[in-house]
Chain A
């Protein structure tokens, strides 16, 4: 869509490396005013070819100080997700929307693992006890996914050369489906830089709006 106009800058460091089977690739995400944006999910979906491996790295979503940590997680569907309750209170974690609905209680200090997130899509999670808690788990269909680091970079290793759908997702991104996508061709090591069309909205504050100090005793 033409209104999502952004500068796409592809750098080819060496034309000779085209022959390599796998290569490292990076995507640099900047805000419209060219500042690096952290914790943005970036994933690459292959177009016209199959990826040989599955990234089944387990994801840990902790509950600490009555908040989900981290706020945004990303995993390939079917991966194991560990919920670690580091708090000294019980949480009732749920997601009430989509195909990956779930709900369970997790007592203080306990861990709950789930491996049944079989559908790709966004899983917004909350705690039925503590309304202010909230987090996102994005389930993707590709092993090539990452979150940007503090420099706004998402690094991908051993990427097979080919065409990819590059998707950038963030719950506070003000676009349809909270994401932007573009097709890129990866044939050599390089960094794909892109600027978000909008600044991110304020991140969801997992904070009790009220004075809840007395609850620290729980």
Chain B
């Protein structure tokens, strides 16, 4: 990952490197120039020096030769006494330290040639030159005074000047002196210029080394320098022509190392400085980059903390720059986020109407309480009664007012408690240290608190509260289940229309199995897991089975046979009762047809739920199917419970009236357990009453039940309704009911509910005799 720091560092370093490179290059360039100038100047000085050296020697030789040839003493013996001439020349030669003395006659003969010879013992000795007595090869040039100053004898080279020896105007011969060009000259160049000197002679491609300042030099090494291939050697080559086509080279050279030694020293300095500045600048760049990124890193760290929900620590960046400002903005942001989060948290955990803690708060509170594994506590689930009525009649403002009032009063309870407002009209009160025994007192306290009426716009409203109670740890140790239990208790309150109820597991229908059944039921209807059983009804008058009740059974693939009580209720609460009832009806129709074919004419009773009565298409569905199967409505009885009519009695009664009109038999199921008044009974368009089995089962032994059943039968008959008794389990009860003029009897004593095929025999019987 390329961090800002790395980027800054990279930028800095690359800039510095660039600068260094530029400065290095310019230094390098100037040094190169300097070096070149130094070398050039050294070489040109050297050249000037040896030019001047040769010129000086030539001038010296010329002057001296002229002086000598003008000497009358020499002239006077010239041509006659060769020995005297030789001695005279030798004498003169010694004065200028000449290495060669020579005389040439006008006829072109070398009359005298004296050379210095260095023998083994290094002693100088004058000997006769090799060319003495031979012809001088360059007469024309000599006569025209154009003899080159370099003269070869064997493999020796001399700088020579011959001057004419005259007798008046006539030239009677030439005499002159020469210096050998050899090692001493090279050595003197070295001393003067600091450059090595090699002196090379070339005659007709024959090379020889005349001398060198370097004692180790040889002709091959010297020759290589004439056309140097290596740039390490700086050399200056000077070429001279000697008489007779020979060439003579002076090579001044120096290896570059020596020449640029001084400059190289400064090179090292420059390199050192460059590396040093590079290191320093990199460290500085690192520090600067670090300085810039440190606050950023702090901010990043802080942002991570914020993301994790840690708002307590502010960022402190001691920086007056933009980053400092950013940090302070960060802090203020952090504060605001904190405030907002607290507001949200408050809103999340509190009800907006009452500002009391809500369900979420409750959940965490209960979690705390249960985790502490502390003392027992009670969970009161409270519900304001008839709030819907208030909302409907006085508007929601009034309802809200009532809810607020309830909240206030509950808050004001004396005992230690936590109050939550968990829904529209529902509160939860957690009361620590409350057990089953003290719960009653607490419930009384609450009732007391609620007793006083409250005013809304000059209206007097009574606050009525239902309370469901669950106890910790008695009912559950799990907070969630505990709440469910309290809820179940409250539900029981509602159903039983009581004001308070402490949870009892036996009454709780809200089990986990129930939840799974909800899902399975849908499938069951579709995949024919349901079957219909029929329980026969015995007609006292006909002394045979004239009616059956269709009862749905659920053959669950995993749970086995599920009793209808469990899943009918589920179907009602989950909106599945409509498809269920329709399925039952269609199944009953088929069965009715089948029996008809078998010659059995029997009335089938079908249980209708309150939900069915709210379904607008239910009536037309029933009628269409009856018609399509060409069955009579009179063959079917619709059994409706009293409670099915509670929600919307008018609509239900109107619908039932239409069924009655169509020809269906209508029956009030479970009569005696509901709250329906006689006035309502009077209005119901039914044909019969079905006395609840709770009254019938102990008929034979319970006198009170007998009285109820007897008077109910009489009441029904008086209202023109027939009566069915269900739950008959013994012959005595059957006999008793026959005596009491009951019309139909149903129960295990007659027959259990069975599949249609098992009932055929019973149904086909023309007459039935019962015996113990």
Tell me if B203 is interfacial: C-beta within 8 Å of chain A: no
Task: Establish whether residues B167 and A97, one from each chain, have CB atoms under 8 Å apart when the complex forms.
Answer: yes
Interface membership of A78, Cβ < 8 A: no
In the complex, whether A11 has a CB less than 8 A from a CB of chain B is no
B169 adjacent to A95 (CB under 8 Å): no
Give the total of A residues in contact with B, Cβ under 8 Å. Answer: 19
CA distance A68 to B180 in the complex (A): 41
What secondary structure prevails in chain B residues at the interface with A? mixed
Residue among B79, B170, B172 having the largest count of chain A Cβ atoms under 10 Å: B170
Complex contact A96–B172 (CB within 8 A) = yes
A176 nearest CB across to chain B (Å): 11
Min CB distance A202 to B, Å, is: 11
Partner-contacting stretch, out of A24-32, A106-114, A129-137, A182-190: A129-137
Interface string of B158-173 (1 = CB under 8 A from A): 0000000011111010
Residues on B with C-beta less than 8 A from A103 are 76
B76 and A126 within 8 A (CB): no
> Considering the complex, which residues of chain B in the window 61-92 have a beta carbon less than 8 Å from any beta carbon of chain A?
70, 72, 75-76, 78-79
A94 to B75, CA, bound (A): 10
List residues of chain B with CB within 8 A of the CB of A204.
169
- CB B172 to nearest CB in A, in angstroms, measures 4
CA distance A133 to B70 in the complex (A): 13
In the assembled complex, the Cα of A126 lies from the Cα of B70 at a distance in Å of 11
Contact B72 A128 (CB under 8 A): yes
In contact, A122 and B170 (Cβ under 8 angstroms) = yes
Determine if B76 and A134 form an interchain contact, defined as CB atoms under 8 angstroms apart: no
Q: Kindly list chain B residues whose C-beta atoms are within 8 Å of the C-beta of A127.
A: 168
Inter-chain CB contacts under 8 Å: number: 49
Query: B170 touching A136 by the CB < 8 A rule?
Result: yes
**B167 x A95 contact (CB < 8 A):** yes
| Given A128-B72, A131-B70: A97 in contact with B79 (beta carbons within 8 A) | yes
| B70 near A134: Cβ-Cβ < 8 Å | no
Chain A residues, Cβ within 8 Å of B70 = 131
| Interchain CB contact under 8 A, B168 and A133 | yes
A171-B166 Cα distance, complex, nearest whole Å: 14
CA–CA, A103 and B75, complex, Å: 11
**Contact across chains for A135 and B168 when beta carbons are under 8 A apart:** yes
Q: Count the B residues whose beta carbon is within 8 Å of the partner chain — how many? A: 12
In the docked arrangement, what's the CA distance between A126 and B168, Å?
A: 4
What's the least CB distance linking A55 to chain B, in Å?
25
C-alpha gap A126/B75 in the complex (Å): 11
The smallest beta-carbon distance between A88 and chain B, in angstroms, is 22
Across the interface, name the chain B residue whose C-beta is closest to A204.
Answer: B169
Cβ contacts under 8 Å, A128 to chain B? 72
Q: Which residues of A contact B75 (CB under 8 A)?
A: 94, 96
- B72 to chain A: which residues have CB within 8 Å? 94, 96, 128
In the complex, A124 has a CB within 8 A of chain B: yes
Residue A161 CB within 8 A of the other chain: no
B172 engages A126 (CB within 8 Å): no
Q: Which residue of A lies closest to B169 (CB)?
A: A134
CB distance from A74 to the nearest CB of B (A): 16
**Shortest Cβ gap from A170 to chain B (Å):** 12
- Tell me the chain A residues, 48-70 only, with Cβ under 8 Å from chain B: none
CA of A133 to CA of B168 in the docked complex: distance in angstroms?
Answer: 7
A144 at the interface (CB under 8 A from B): no
B72 to A, closest residue via Cβ:
A128
Q: From the candidates A94, A96, A101, A136, name the one contacting B169 in the complex (CB within 8 A).
A: A136
A125 at the interface (CB under 8 A from B): yes
In the complex, which of the residues B72, B79, B167, B172 has the most CB atoms of chain A within 10 Å of its own CB atom? B167
In whole angstroms, what is the CA distance A159 to B75 when docked? 41
The answer to whether B76 touches A124 (Cβ under 8 A) is no
A135 to B75, CA, bound (A): 17
Pick from B70, B72, B78, B79 the residue with the most CB of A within 10 Å.
Answer: B72
> Which of B70, B75, B169 has its CB near the most chain A CB atoms (within 10 A)?
B169
Contact assessment for B168 and A125 in the assembled complex, using a CB-CB cutoff below 8 Å: yes
- Cβ contact within 8 Å between A94 and B170: no
Cross-chain contact A171 with B167 (CB below 8 angstroms): no
A66 to chain B minimum Cβ distance, whole angstroms, is 13
B76 contact set on A, CB distance < 8 A: 94, 96, 101, 103
Give the shortest distance, in Å, between A135 (CB) and chain B (any CB).
6
Give the distance in Å from the alpha carbon of A135 to the alpha carbon of B169 in the complex. Answer: 7
Alpha-carbon gap, A204 to B169, bound state (A):
7
Interface string of A130-172 (1 = CB under 8 A from B): 0101111000000000000000000000000000000000010
Residues on B with C-beta less than 8 A from A131 are 70
CB distance from B109 to the nearest CB of A (A): 15
- 13 of the cross-chain contacts (CB-CB < 8 Å) are A94-B76, A96-B167, A97-B78, A97-B170, A103-B76, A122-B170, A124-B166, A126-B166, A126-B168, A127-B168, A131-B70, A135-B169, A136-B169
Extra inter-chain contacts (20) besides given A124-B169, A127-B168, CB under 8 Å: A94-B75, A94-B167, A96-B75, A96-B78, A96-B79, A96-B167, A96-B172, A97-B79, A97-B170, A103-B76, A122-B170, A124-B166, A124-B167, A124-B172, A126-B167, A126-B169, A128-B72, A134-B170, A136-B168, A171-B170
Which residue numbers of A lie inside 8 Å of B, CB to CB? 94-97, 101, 103, 122, 124-128, 131, 133-136, 171, 204
- Which of B's residues lie within 8 Å of A, judged by CB? 70, 72, 75-76, 78-79, 166-170, 172
The 7 closest A-B pairs by CB, nearest first: A126-B168, A134-B169, A124-B170, A134-B168, A204-B169, A96-B75, A96-B167
